[in-house]
Structure 1
Amino acid sequence: MTLNGLPVAVLGAGPVGLAAAAHLIQRGLRPLIFERGDEIGANLNTYRHVRLFSPWQYNIDKAARKLLELSGWRSPAHDGLPTAGELLEAYLTPLAELPEIASALKLGHKVIQVTRQGFDKVKSRGREQAPFVIRVVGPNGERDYHAQAVIDATGTWANPNPLGANGLPALGELGLAAQIAYGMPDVAGIDRTTYAGKRTLVVGAGHSAAGTLLALADIAETVPGTSIVWATRGDQLARVFGGGDADGLPARGQLGLRLKSLRDSGKLELHTNFRMTALHQTTEGIQAVGEAPNGEQVAIDGIDRIVAATGARPDLTLTREMRVRHDPWLESTDALAPLIDPNEHSCGTVRPHGHRELAHPEPGYYAVGAKSYGRAPNFLMATGYEQVRSVVASLVGDMAAADDVQLDLPETGVCNTHFAYDGNAASEPGCCGGPAVDASSACCALDETEKAQGRLGCSTLSSCAPAPKASACCA
């Protein structure tokens, strides 16, 4: 079997996966889309109650928009803020119903492995000419499908991080699974009775934790006995409090302001530097045990429910038999890691990246979307759309278009540990540790010294795309 005439497999029918399908169709390639859920956007559907930070203008892929408009579809107002459910209903569902996409879509088909036909991981000669084999479990059992390339947009949401600070489940976590929710449960909606009148521990320092804390606070205003406990591994809460009124995504800025106000009001019990190690069921509820930075053991008692808003990680088992190379700690590609590593920077303009940064040693396989960032938490949907545009252009050999990667992103907050609404931003360093040399051309880039140290530096390069604004940052 040769590669000619085979489809391109797209794993996942979420926003980035369907955008990849739209770009493939636009370029004359045939997509074959696998979605594990019985409906498109299985991950989005689990938090359909959550309002997104990004307005519609950043949530609709350009190729998808063109296909939809040919069918008479009309875009929502650009400045509107959809919920995840509205994104599904007003955009992704009409896109998936277009005949050219619907005919390629296989719902209820879970991909369990990807490999090369006739080649295990070791064998080399002739490997690039062998079709990909995608093993899938569907309604009729296991089946192998063949493809000329694979675009993996399976995301990370379905693989939440555990509560344990060491990356493993806390001792006792698996046994108490019935009392733990991961991600963003619909606290104020269908799950309200589960949390009303209860003492809930929320673990995490990201925007998912913030949204859950605020929803619990609303319940606590009207339901006696509802109490909120917030635990974070560190003590720097600037990222979740965000840029306030200076945030380029106003909804996120307002979320941070509200959470900071809740913290300052004393209406929640805050435990910082709480590194979870174990959970115990006692007669008074769950006891969460943690370790302080000085090694002292600390405990939070009397917990009824736990929400683990601790982020997510990619599922790397899909590519066990392929030649993939990941950054040792982020699990993104090596080339992408220095641009997004949260250990080195939490701000700076998002450097445009495409097929070259996303490529693995296995030709024709690309992880895109949230999965491409591995464990880094700063992915934006618009980034994924530009990724797939570049990848698909490279698959058809249009290298000029594939390499012409540009991102038009909003400002995403202040670049320091203070808050713009505290009046301290002006005196703080700019993106990547220093002000942009030239607002028109500065970007986060790897110079030779920083590259040797595995860190991100800022420089002015003619090859860099212009920063959206001199103070733009990524959250």
Structure 2
Amino acid sequence: MSDHPVVVVGAGPTGLAAAAHLVQRGEHVLVLEAGDRAGASVSQWNHVRLFSRWDELIDPAAEKLLTATGWVRPQTGTCPTGADWVDLYLAPLAEALGDRVRFGARVVGVARRGRDRVVDAGRQTEPLTVHVHSESGEERIAARAVIDASGTWNSPNPLGGDGLPAKGEKAARISYRTPDLAAQRDRYAGKRIAVAGSGHSALTALVALAEPELGATIVWLLRRGSVGTTFGGGEADQLPARGALGLKAQKAVDAGRVEIVTGFRTAAVEREDDGRLTLESFDGRKVGGLDEVVALTGFRPDLSWLSEVRLDLDPVLQAPTGLAPLIDPNVHSCGTVYPHGESELRHPEPGVYLVGMKSYGRAPTFLALTGYEQVRSVVARIAGDHEAAGRVELVLPETGVCGGAGVFDAPAGECSGLVG
């Protein structure tokens, strides 16, 4: 069984960091990426600038691997865009990993070889099998362990306020991504636009769409009853770019460029005679005359292809049970969590781990540093180094907004609420 590779699902920041740690420990690793490049999901928000600086976005094991290739570390004190992160770090890292990374390989299932989730016998001795679809057809890969770093980018939450698509939502033209005005300016210029959500993605969209030169009318739909701490910690935030984003959004609101509608949980989307949209809330209120709707209400994990392995997930957040109390947004509103590693991420299925944004389930405010610490600890455990697995090597930056109810409908991600 030890001859089988550790399979990492996803060639994003956390997945590639996991691979670098495995290489550093001399482990056999195979990274399977559904997209055609490293950081395929990050590439979809390449226009957005991250909150974190370069020194907070580069994993130590990955840096060692890259340095051996002659790679030059980007300027430490700057905050890159998504495109920068891919071009200057993720793509070179994948190249350094060589044929350990396979693109166009979509994982559609993970199971214990010859056993469904009900069977006890053999779960400690049989390898895991990873079911893969690619251009060459179907494939089964035996694995010593599986590290799922596939993220949540492809599973955005719906606009509907009960967690399911609102009536008429699927038939309406609704965007679930932060607008790229460099490529889509004509789509939004001079339009009446509703932005739904209270996380960093929503704030990023508000700041961009509310610029006076665009001439748009912005309606900000908040599910919560008041704005409260939505703008974040401002100057108290230890990630200056994150604090600045909230201040810019607040400035746009104070200048009257954004209309706020609180307590609005969308129940239905109706198409008007002129093609515009009207949104109706569960309490009967309506917001109409909308040319565009941008729903930035968070993300959720796709657990469908993990149905035959035994996961211990919190019933609310869909995060590992050991991690959920540390990140529950109904309790916490900080950008930090208590230090955690392999023990909080462990599942009843031996050798199966959810890491990165997927480990947070539906909770918001995930930072790249958190993912890097997770995989350092998980890989140490897989390699048999229990002392290193239990050690904590991370201190996260504060948001400046702590205590009280959290932002339960905010998106998760390394940058402006986006995921990589």
- TM value normalised by structure 1: 0.83
- The reply on whether 1:180 has 2:171 as its aligned counterpart is no
- The reply on whether 1:28 has 2:8 as its aligned counterpart is no
* Superposition deviation, residue 57 in structure 1: 1.0
- The reply on whether 1:169 has 2:165 as its aligned counterpart is yes
Q: Secondary structure at the match of 1:112?
A: strand
* Superposition deviation, residue 414 in structure 1: 2.6
1:406-421 aligned within 5 A: 406-415=393-402
Q: Secondary structure at the match of 2:157?
A: coil
Identify the residue that residue 237 of structure 2 maps to in structure 1.
Answer: 247
Look up the equivalent residue of 1:70 and give its one-letter code: A
Report if aligned partners of 1:152, 1:368 keep a CA contact under 8 Å in 2.
Answer: yes
Identify the residue that residue 411 of structure 2 maps to in structure 1.
Answer: none
The whole-number CA distance in structure 1 between the counterparts of 2:133 and 2:55 is: 36
- The reply on whether 1:120 has 2:107 as its aligned counterpart is no
1:366 pairs, out of 326, 329, 353, with: 353
Q: Which structure 2 residue ranges, 5 or more long, are not aligned?
A: 407-420
RMSD, aligned α-carbons = 1.5
* Superposition deviation, residue 237 in structure 1: 2.9
Identify the residue that residue 449 of structure 1 maps to in structure 2.
Answer: none
Report if aligned partners of 1:183, 1:311 keep a CA contact under 8 Å in 2.
Answer: no
1:292-303 aligned within 5 A: 296-303=283-290
The whole-number CA distance in structure 2 between the counterparts of 1:400 and 1:13 is: 27
Q: Secondary structure at the match of 1:202?
A: strand
Q: Tell which structure's C-alpha radius of gyration is larger.
A: 1
* Superposition deviation, residue 349 in structure 1: 4.7
2:191 pairs, out of 190, 193, 198, with: 198
* Superposition deviation, residue 239 in structure 1: 4.0
Identify the residue that residue 159 of structure 1 maps to in structure 2.
Answer: 155
The whole-number CA distance in structure 1 between the counterparts of 2:73 and 2:4 is: 33
The whole-number CA distance in structure 2 between the counterparts of 1:82 and 1:89 is: 10
Q: Deviations over 1:78-108 (max 9, x none)?
A: 211001110001111111111xx12111101
2:92 pairs, out of 91, 94, 117, with: 94
Q: Deviations over 1:261-294 (max 9, x none)?
A: 1111111221111010000001141010013xxx
Task: Go from structure 1 to structure 2 and tell me whether the alpha carbon gap of 1:45 and 1:267 turns closer, same or farther (over 3 Å shift).
Answer: same
Q: Secondary structure at the match of 1:156?
A: coil
Identify the residue that residue 213 of structure 2 maps to in structure 1.
Answer: 222
Q: Which has the higher contact order (CA 8 A, sep 6+)?
A: 2
Q: Which moved more, 1:71-80 or 1:318-327?
A: 71-80
Q: Which structure 1 residue ranges, 5 or more long, are not aligned?
A: 418-430, 433-475
The whole-number CA distance in structure 2 between the counterparts of 1:69 and 1:123 is: 46
1:274 pairs, out of 250, 264, 270, with: 264
- TM value normalised by structure 2: 0.94
1:256 pairs, out of 246, 250, 254, with: 246
Report if aligned partners of 2:332, 2:403 keep a CA contact under 8 Å in 1.
Answer: no
Q: Deviations over 1:380-429 (max 9, x none)?
A: 11010000000000001100001002212222223257xxxxxxxxxxxx
Identify the residue that residue 67 of structure 2 maps to in structure 1.
Answer: 69
Question: Aligned pairs, how many?
Answer: 405
Q: Secondary structure at the match of 1:297?
A: coil
Look up the equivalent residue of 2:209 and give its one-letter code: L
Identify the residue that residue 289 of structure 1 maps to in structure 2.
Answer: 280
* Superposition deviation, residue 304 in structure 1: 1.0
Report if aligned partners of 1:183, 1:310 keep a CA contact under 8 Å in 2.
Answer: no
* Superposition deviation, residue 183 in structure 1: 2.6
Identify the residue that residue 383 of structure 1 maps to in structure 2.
Answer: 370
Report if aligned partners of 1:39, 1:107 keep a CA contact under 8 Å in 2.
Answer: yes
Report if aligned partners of 1:61, 1:385 keep a CA contact under 8 Å in 2.
Answer: yes
Percent of aligned pairs with the same amino acid? 50
Look up the equivalent residue of 1:180 and give its one-letter code: I
* Superposition deviation, residue 185 in structure 1: 2.7
The whole-number CA distance in structure 2 between the counterparts of 1:192 and 1:65 is: 37
Report if aligned partners of 2:231, 2:250 keep a CA contact under 8 Å in 1.
Answer: yes
Task: Go from structure 1 to structure 2 and tell me whether the alpha carbon gap of 1:264 and 1:389 turns closer, same or farther (over 3 Å shift).
Answer: same
1:311-350 aligned within 5 A: 311-347=298-334, 349-350=336-337
Q: Deviations over 1:285-326 (max 9, x none)?
A: 1010013xxxx3100011111111010000011210111111
Q: Deviations over 1:413-459 (max 9, x none)?
A: 23257xxxxxxxxxxxxx99xxxxxxxxxxxxxxxxxxxxxxxxxxx
Identify the residue that residue 448 of structure 1 maps to in structure 2.
Answer: none
Q: Which moved more, 1:349-358 or 1:154-163?
A: 349-358
The whole-number CA distance in structure 2 between the counterparts of 1:12 and 1:236 is: 38
